[in-house]
Amino acid sequence: MTQASRHIASRRESSVRANAFSAPRRLCRRDDRKDAYDDLVVKARTDADAAETELATVRHDGARPGPKLPPLDQVLATAVGWEIVLEGADVIAQRQVLAILIDRIVPVRERQSVYRVDITWTPLGETLRAMTAA
């Protein structure tokens, strides 16, 4: 899963724990019965167990290996021709090269006459991008 999913699950677990610790104080202030307290404790334990299970699942999902990428030698041999294609005039060939690297491009308007793009890279494109940034 994503880092955001891990963060949400971790925050949920923290929230459940905080509610479990504050339940006795809330009950004392309201003079609620012991049965209501016991119900809150059971619910808090159930919520905590569910949050821990979700967090463990998210952590486990994050440990999965990444996508299978072609060998680096093969990519580099192919990439030599990409520069020629991208500098050329053949739009269809350019799109084919870009389709290998980019999954999706979304233009985002920031203000009048000013745009930026959100790029979703393919696994190969993300790997090459990370290699060039390093």
Tell me the per-residue pLDDT of 94-123, one tens digit each, with 9 for 90 and over: 999 899 899 999 999 999 999 999 999 998
Quickly list DSSP for 13-25: HHHHHHHHHHHHH
pLDDT band (50, 70, 90) for residue 32: low
Lowest mean pLDDT among 16-25, 28-37, 81-90: 16-25
Q: Is 67 helix (H, G, I), strand (E, B) or coil?
A: coil
**What is residue 117's DSSP assignment?**
E
Any residues with CB less than 8 A from the CB of 24 and at least 6 apart, and which?
37
Q: What distance in Å separates the CA atoms of residue 95 and residue 117, rounded to the nearest whole number?
A: 17
pTM of the model: 0.46
Residue 90 has pLDDT above 80, yes or no: yes
What's the average model confidence in pLDDT over 65-75? 77
Classify 31 in phi/psi space as left (phi over 0), alpha (psi -120 to 50) or beta. Answer: left
What's the average model confidence in pLDDT over 67-87? 81
Residue 125 has pLDDT above 80, yes or no: yes
